[in-house]
Copies of this chain bind each other. A is one copy, B any other.
Amino acid sequence: MNDLLKTLYAATENELQRQIARLDTPRTREFHQMLTYHMGWTGAGAGPEAAGKRIRPQLLLLCAASSGGDWQKALPAAAAVELLHNFSLIHDDIEDHSDKRRGRATLWACWGIPQAINAGDGLFVLCDLALDDLAKNYSAQIALTAAKILHQTSLRLTAGQYQDMSYEKRTDLNEADYWPMISGKTAALIAASCEIGAVLAEVGTPTRAAYREFGEALGLAFQVQDDLLGIWGDEAQTGKSAASDLLEGKKSLPVLYGLGQRGKFAARWERGPISPVEVVQVSQFLAEEGASGYTQNKATEWTEKALTSLESAHPYGEAGATLHHLAQRLLGRSN
């Protein structure tokens, strides 16, 4: 991390703690504790590893600063996108019955499903209250524009999550079902983070659109690469067992592409869950039918699109250089 990224990270953590402290009252002590546990600040295994990278707020602040805005004034918005992201993580973990996240027990695994649903709701509300704070630093019009972008994003998030869950029972899916789900679940919030940064810098419409397109393409490139690694990744690099997405039955791009080929892979997939002993063979079927090449091409396409959009946004100064650097790293072009 360079110095600017370190500064932004520390300022974001500070702002997040300030926003979440709204629930730090004598009668809601444990409610507050659930949220600080989830955010990675307290409880067993607390620390930067548990907190995660805070990519979305960093993108928001860098987009604001690299287009001429003051990142310090944008901090409530940076907190808002991270709070929204974490609201969705808490509810997704319940919905997917995932009992581990970043190596720690998930919130519902610690406090039970009823309290975890309500804790997720609390983060959503705190996201709205953080957005309301923008009116202290910006005109009411700008504060409303930023809020509206995030609310439309939230709608795409819930629609994407609905699709993801409804796909579980379906066997008639193909690639056309992939993009709307993944653009809602992953790309929408990254796009919104970049766009809100630009809105808070009061840039013109073309620059705002360029930042947004950068975020959307970055989110899609990132997700498609993740899908590729989830089947053909190096265990040492990914930290997961090989082809783990196939074992979990995840409807990733290679899988949906493969289902559309109606070949050996699709025939095997439709017979039910794949066991560890078959997984190498099934991933070979998928590669032979063109899924790995196709997915690699899509990852390259979205990566190029992200970098082209970033160029056309003309980010400048130290923040611009840092944004380039962060994008390259997220896109796997550097370490």
Contacts and interface: CB of A to CB of B under 8 A. Distances in A.
Contacts of A151: 125, 128-129, 132
Contacts of A158: 31, 118, 121-122, 125
Max chain B Cβ within 10 angstroms of own Cβ: one of A28, A30, A141, A148: A28
Copies in the complex: 2
A162 B113 CA distance: 12
A91 interface: yes
Interface residues of A, number: 46
Interface in A23-50: 23, 25, 27-28, 30-31
Interface in A129-179: 129, 132, 135, 139-141, 143-144, 147-148, 151-152, 154-155, 157-159, 161-163, 165-166
Contact of A117 (B22, B27, B30, B94): B94
Contact of A121 (B91, B122, B140, B165): B91
A140 to B, nearest CB: 4
A297 interface: no
Given A28-B159, A95-B117, A128-B154, 13 more contacts: A30-B162, A95-B114, A95-B118, A115-B162, A118-B165, A121-B161, A122-B162, A124-B124, A126-B155, A129-B151, A132-B148, A139-B140, A140-B141
A172 to B, nearest CB: 14
5 contacts: A30-B166, A118-B158, A118-B165, A128-B128, A144-B144
Contacts of A152: 129
Contacts of A22: 155
